[in-house]
Each structure stands twice: as structure tokens, then as C-alpha cells.
Amino acid sequence: MMALIALAALTACVERIAESRVRAALVDAGLSTRNADCMARRMVDRLTIAQLRRLEQLSAARRERLTLAEYVDLVRRVGDAEAIAVTTSSAALCATGFG
């Protein structure tokens, strides 16, 4: 029983760290903090670590702010259908206030 509790606590900690990294990468890629906060948890829940790392690379040397639509266009360049679908649906939910 204690092992299950420890595993659950470790899993929650890892998820929080992953969400924090994704949020930071989204901001670095040019999204507003509000949109990054909204999208990060959903993306962490639905994408693999490898997919998240590919998206993290989009943040390199970004200096200007991006709209959600511009970020989705940027993600399309990665060529990962699942990452595009999750990003698009996350952006749509955040834009409508349901995220």
C-alpha cells in the first residue's frame, strides 16, 4: 500500500514538472502566459515525452508574440498528426474559455 502511495506521489510530481516545462516552452515559443497556462496541462496529458520535446524545439530563438493560430501553424511544421490535433484542440478550447 505504501508503495502505491509513493508511486502516486511521484507520478504527480513528474506531471507537475512536465507541465511546468511545457508551459515555459509555450511562452518561449511566443504564446502569452495565459494561453500557455491553459494549454500545458492538456498537452502533457495527451502527448508523449518525445512529442513534447519536438514541440519544445519550436521555442528556439522566438522573440515575438504569437497568436494561437500562428502557433498552430508553427506546430504543423513538425509533421506529427497527433501533436497537431492536440495543439489545435487545446488552442480552440483555450480561445473559447473552455480550457
Segment 72-82, tens digit of pLDDT: 998 998 899 99
pLDDT of residue 82: 97
Compute the distance between CA of residue 31 and CA of residue 22 in angstroms, rounded to an integer.
12
Segment 41-54, tens digit of pLDDT: 999 999 999 999 89
Residue 49, domain extent: 2-96
Compute the distance between CA of residue 98 and CA of residue 21 in angstroms, rounded to an integer.
22
Segment 4-50, tens digit of pLDDT: 565 455 455 667 888 999 999 999 888 999 999 999 999 999 999 99
Domain count, the chain: 1
pTM greater than 0.75 (yes/no): yes
Compute the distance between CA of residue 69 and CA of residue 32 in angstroms, rounded to an integer.
13
pLDDT of residue 1: 66
